[in-house]
Structure 1
Amino acid sequence: MNSIEMAKKLFDSEIEELIKVRNKIDDNIEKIVELILNSKGKVVITGIGKSGLIGKKIAATLASTGTHAIFMNSAEGLHGDLGMICEEDVVIAISNSGNSEEVLSLIPSIKRIGATLVAMTGNKKSPLGREAKYILNIGIEKEGCPLNLAPMSSATSTLVMGDALASILIEKRKFKPENFAIYHPGGTLGRRLLMKVRDVMHTGDNLPLVNDISSVDEVILRMTKKRLGAVCVMNSENKMVGIITEGDLRRALSKKEEFFKMKAENIMTKNFTYADEGIMAIEALDLMENRENQISVLPVMKNGELVGIVRVHDLLNVVGR
Structure 2
Amino acid sequence: MRHSHLMAAALTGPRTGPGESRTPSLLLLLFLLPHTQAAATAHRHPASEGVAFSRDVACGQRHMQGRIIGGVDTLEKKWPWQVSVHYAGFHICGGSIIDEYWILSAAHCFGRNKVTAAFDMYVGLVDLRVAGNHTQWFEVNKVIIHPTYEMYHPIGGDIALVQLKTRIVFSDSVLPICIAPPDVTLSNLSCWATGWGSISQQGDTSDKLQEVQLPLVPLPLCQLLYGHTSYILPDMLCAGDLRNMKTACEGDSGGPLVCEFNRTWIQIGVVSWGHGCTYPMYPAVYTRVSFFSEWIRYHIENTPLPLQPLPTLSSTPGAAINVLVTSLAVLSML
Place the TM-score, normalised by the shorter chain, in its bin.
under 0.3
Q: Answer 1 or 2: higher relative contact order, Cα 8 Å, separation at least 6.
A: 2
The structure with the largest alpha-carbon Rg is: 1
* More strand as a share of residues: 2
* More helix as a share of residues: 1
